[in-house]
């Protein structure tokens, strides 16, 4: 790994993060290391209980977008499995006409997903994004859960001289020598990964789109403040919108609107890692075996859709979304002498964890945008009551 980084030289932090997460040999998401659940690094809402997927499945049928359900980054496939099970048991007509697509770049996760969906495997098509684009446009729903936060981010700092971007390179100096860089643009990073050490530097912006982003979403940045700019995630969202001729896109992730996300109180941004259920603040530790992530700018996602003619049907916390979808009706009056194994009591606890303040339901947000079906002259639009 050292030789490889030496050959790359100085790169933007976004490029470093891309390698750490998606390098074909040692990237976090491309490895076969378990990532979700007790033996992994973090939990997701679908891994808590099937009730989360059941609510989403009912909502997909309710909004009636079309026969295609497209999931990007399906993790271990639990959300797909539980949604498909709900479609099959409660919405059989929809299930029969359904085309369920999974876009997954990790070969190891594809194998896990294929086993996870089990009896529903014949309803699922695993495709690359290019293959999906080739078959577009579709009528239906695009669904993501904790996808946008996994795209690499640029890190931008405001200095007295203006905006600068964080670059990264392998540091060949010793620990003692690197500690001398206490001032100036070179900032030592005391990290170790198989004796790898890196140094950060502040340099001119690599892309003019970064300055445009700051002007629009972080104009109040103060000197010394660093923010993350998710150009890759926004680019994906634009491509995703182009996949549908009509339908909905449902984005579930953690994040904020721009004014809260880039508030001056967040001097160092929101970049963080997860390693064996431990929050880390050093992106250069455990390279390839820790997740790296940053909060999503939902203002930017919403604007991206609306600028292309999409309507925003819902934006709010995950708790608000689930409550509006009737998740409380799924609570049961259950009691058991073994509450940790009783399925009804486990379900009740899961519902509470998904909606109670301070947990998943508060930090996670849901954005739903829609594009109506267009009718040409040969078609008659549906009649409406006056």
pLDDT digits (tens, 9 = 90+) for 151-179: 999 999 999 999 999 999 988 654 444 44
**What pTM was estimated for this model as a whole?**
0.86
The structural domains of the chain, ordered by start, are: 45-150+230-257+292-371 (3.40.50.12710)
**Which are the contacts of 340, defined by CB distance < 8 A and separation ≥ 6?**
346
Q: What is the pLDDT of residue 9?
A: 84
- Residue 144 Ramachandran class (φ > 0 left, ψ -120 to 50 alpha, else beta): beta
Q: Are strands 11-12 and 296-297 parallel, antiparallel or unpaired?
A: unpaired
Residue recorded with tokens 């604007």? 303
pLDDT digits (tens, 9 = 90+) for 102-154: 999 888 889 999 999 999 999 999 999 999 999 999 999 999 999 999 999 99
CA geometry: angle 188, 193, 197, nearest 5 deg: 25
Q: What is the pLDDT of residue 222?
A: 97
Tell me if residue 66 falls in helix, strand or coil. coil
Count other Cβ atoms within 10 Å, centred on residue 232: 17
Q: Using 50 as the pLDDT threshold, list the residues of the chain that sit under it.
A: 41, 174-185, 187-194, 376-378, 384-386
The answer to whether the beta carbons of residues 236 and 245 sit under 8 Å apart is no
Question: In the chain, how many H helices and how many E strands?
Answer: 16, 17
Tokens of 147: 């996808």
């Amino acid at each position: 790994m050292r030789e490889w980084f030496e050959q790359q030289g100085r790169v933007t932090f976004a490029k470093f993060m891309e390698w750490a997460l998606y390098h074909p040999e040692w990237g976090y998401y491309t490895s076969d290391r378990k990532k979700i659940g007790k033996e992994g690094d973090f939990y997701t809402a679908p891994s808590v209980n099937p009730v989360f997927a059941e609510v989403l499945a009912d909502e997909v049928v309710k909004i009636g977008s079309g026969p295609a359900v497209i999931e990007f980054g399906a993790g271990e496939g639990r959300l797909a499995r539980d949604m498909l099970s709900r479609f099959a048991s409660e919405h059989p007509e929809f299930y029969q006409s359904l085309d369920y697509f999974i876009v997954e770049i990790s070969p190891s996760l594809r194998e896990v997903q294929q086993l996870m969906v089990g009896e529903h495997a014949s309803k699922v098509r695993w495709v690359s994004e290019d293959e999906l684009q080739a078959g577009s446009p579709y009528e239906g729903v695009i669904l993501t859960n904790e996808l946008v936060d996994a795209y690499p981010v640029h890190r931008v700092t405001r200095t007295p001289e203006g905006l600068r971007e964080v670059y990264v390179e392998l540091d060949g100096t010793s620990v003692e020598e690197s500690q001398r860089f206490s001032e100036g643009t070179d900032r030592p990073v005391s990290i170790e990964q198989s004796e790898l050490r890196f140094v950060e530097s502040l340099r001119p912006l690599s892309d003019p789109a970064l300055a445009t982003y700051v002007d629009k979403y972080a104009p109040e940045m103060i000197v010394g403040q660093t923010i993350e700019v998710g150009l890759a995630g926004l680019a994906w969202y634009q491509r995703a919108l182009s996949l549908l001729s009509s339908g909905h896109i449902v984005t579930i992730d953690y994040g904020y609107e721009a004014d809260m996300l880039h508030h001056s109180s967040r001097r160092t941004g929101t970049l963080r890692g997860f390693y064996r259920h431990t929050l880390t603040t050093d992106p250069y530790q455990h390279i390839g075996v820790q997740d790296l992530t940053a909060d999503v700018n939902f203002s930017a996602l919403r604007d991206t859709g609306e600028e292309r003619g999409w309507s925003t049907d819902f934006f709010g916390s995950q708790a608000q979304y689930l409550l509006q979808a009737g998740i409380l009706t799924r609570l049961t009056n259950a009691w058991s002498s073994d509450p940790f194994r009783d399925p009804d009591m486990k379900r009740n606890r899961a519902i509470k964890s998904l909606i109670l303040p301070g947990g998943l339901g508060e930090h996670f947000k849901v954005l739903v945008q829609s594009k109506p079906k267009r009718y040409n002259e040969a078609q008659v639009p549906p009649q409406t009551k006056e």
